[in-house]
């Protein structure tokens, strides 16, 4: 294959951009593998002289507090596995409920006739435009008044029932399904609910998966709301736990090797997601911009 100069230049740019993505992640992994006491002296190296997994075991809570201090930890602790568990629960509850309630509402908007339909749909779509800064104070007060601070319920409540994007997106898809199948079922006496459950939902696995994917990514990465309502150590999701691990530095400087071990571990679920569902993730994210 002939390589003309402009093509070579384009390749050089692409490779440079890819390196810009990958090299920082490499440095994270390298730092995580470096013994704490060598982090500063070997900061400029690409590979530690004596790589170790101890930072990982330390972060995962597999060694005692004293041992961890002796290894050069800052004395701060991150309950990594518990935070991952909280994040999984937080994301799982929201994704499940949001996909369910969005598909229910979207079906009603796409297929059923009821008074106030257009107005309600317009309001739901408009809710996407409300910036988070407007609602967070009243929502915080509501959660506080309900006694739901530092609970999973308080964390998931504002997200789990309604998603303007989810409703809009699924309604568009439902409108595109040919009505023939549904009409046949209705002629045979099927109720609207039955049509929804038995015909429309099974035909919609692809858009449902897209919505679930996008919601999972957003919720797994959500920081602001859990940071406001669930700072309590036992309830922290991963993002909040990492932030608080960073800001606790009982012995002066942050525990970089520990932090980078935690960071590296936190990247793993994302890599797994990309490895298993790469195409779906890329297509879902691209889709979100093509409305």
Partner 1 sequence: MSAVPRPPSAFGPNRRRETLTAFGLVLPALIGFVLFYAWPAWRAVEISLTDWNLLREPNWVGLDNYVKLWGDERFWRGMQLSAWYVAFNIPMQTVLGLFLAVVMDRLARSLFIKAVVLLPYLLSNVLVALMWLWLLDPLLGGVNALLTWSGIGHQPFFAGETQALATVAAVNIWRHMGLVALLFLAGLQNIPRYLYEAGALEGATEWQMFWRITLPLLRPVMVFVLVTSVTGSFQIFDTVAVATNGGPLESTRVIVHYIVQNAFSFYKMGYASAMSMTLCLVMVLYTVLQMRILRANENDLA
For residues 149-188, which are near partner 1 according to CB under 8 A? 157-158, 160-163, 167, 175, 179, 182-183, 186
Q: How far is Cα 142 from Cα 131, in angstroms, rounded to an integer?
A: 18
Distance between CA 80 and CA 60 in Å, rounded?
A: 6
Contact (CB, 8 A) for 167 and 124: yes
* Position among 111, 149, 152, 233 found at the interface with partner 1 (CB under 8 A): 111
Interaction between residue 191 and partner 1 (CB under 8 A): yes
Q: Does 120 bind partner 1 (CB under 8 A)?
A: yes
- Under the binding rule (CB under 8 A), the answer on residue 24 touching partner 1 is yes
Does position 268 interact with partner 1 (CB under 8 A)? The reply is no
Q: CB 57 → partner 1: shortest distance, Å? A: 20
Is residue 272 a contact residue for partner 1 (CB under 8 A)?
Answer: no
Considering only residues 71 to 100 of the shown chain, the ones binding partner 1 according to CB under 8 A are 100
Q: Of these, 14, 81, 206, 268, which contacts partner 1 (CB under 8 A)?
A: 14
Q: Where are the alpha helices (DSSP H) in the chain?
A: 5-32, 54-59, 65-70, 80-111, 117-126, 132-145, 152-160, 164-176, 180-187, 192-195, 201-203, 205-221, 224-229, 238-247, 256-288
Out of 84, 155, 156, 217, the residue judged to bind partner 1 by CB under 8 A: 217
Of the candidate residues 4, 119, 131, 188, the single one contacting partner 1 (CB under 8 A): 131
Minimal distance, residue 165 CB to partner 1, in Å: 11
Query: How far is CA 263 from each of CA 163, 245, 271, rounded to the nearest angstrom?
Result: 30, 11, 13
Work out whether 129 is an interface residue with partner 1 (CB under 8 A): yes
Cα dist from 15 to 18, 68, 225, whole Å: 5, 40, 37
Q: Tell the smallest beta-carbon distance from residue 287 to partner 1 (Å).
A: 8
Contact status: 39 vs partner 1 (CB under 8 A): yes
Report, in Å, the least distance between residue 215 CB and partner 1: 13
State the Cα–Cα distance between residues 127 and 113, nearest whole angstrom: 22
Nearer to partner 1, 71 or 195 (CB): 195
Rounded to whole angstroms, the Cα distance separating 23 from 17 reads 10
Sole binder of partner 1 in the list 94, 215, 256, 261 (CB under 8 A): 256
H/E stretch holding 255 reads none
The answer for residues whose C-beta is within 8 angstroms of residue 21's C-beta and 6 or more apart is none
């Amino acid at each position: 294959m002939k390589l003309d100069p402009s093509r070579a230049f384009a390749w050089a740019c692409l490779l440079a951009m890819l390196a810009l993505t990958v090299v920082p992640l490499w440095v994270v992994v390298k730092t995580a593998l470096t013994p704490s006491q060598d982090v500063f002296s070997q900061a400029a190296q690409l590979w530690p002289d004596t790589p170790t997994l101890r930072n990982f075991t330390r972060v995962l809570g597999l060694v005692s507090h004293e041992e961890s201090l002796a290894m050069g930890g800052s004395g701060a602790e991150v309950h990594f596995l518990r935070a991952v568990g909280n994040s999984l629960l937080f994301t799982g509850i929201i994704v499940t409920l949001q996909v369910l309630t969005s598909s229910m509402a979207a079906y009603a908007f796409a297929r059923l006739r009821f008074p106030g339909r257009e107005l309600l749909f317009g309001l739901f779509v408009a809710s996407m435009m409300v910036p988070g800064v407007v609602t967070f104070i009243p929502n915080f007060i509501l959660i506080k008044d309900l006694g739901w601070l530092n609970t999973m319920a308080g964390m998931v409540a504002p997200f789990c029932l309604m998603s303007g994007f989810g409703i809009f997106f699924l309604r568009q898809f439902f409108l595109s399904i040919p009505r023939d199948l549904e009409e046949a079922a209705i002629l045979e006496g099927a109720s609207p609910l039955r049509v929804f459950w038995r015909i429309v939902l099974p035909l919609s696995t692809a858009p449902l998966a897209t919505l679930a994917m996008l919601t999972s990514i957003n919720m797994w990465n959500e920081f602001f709301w859990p940071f406001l309502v669930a700072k309590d150590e036992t309830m922290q999701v991963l993002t909040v736990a990492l932030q608080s691990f960073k800001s606790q530095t009982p012995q002066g400087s942050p525990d970089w090797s520990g932090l980078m071990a935690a960071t590296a571990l936190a990247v793993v679920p994302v890599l797994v997601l990309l490895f298993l569902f790469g195409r779906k993730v890329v297509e879902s994210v691209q889709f979100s911009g093509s409305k």
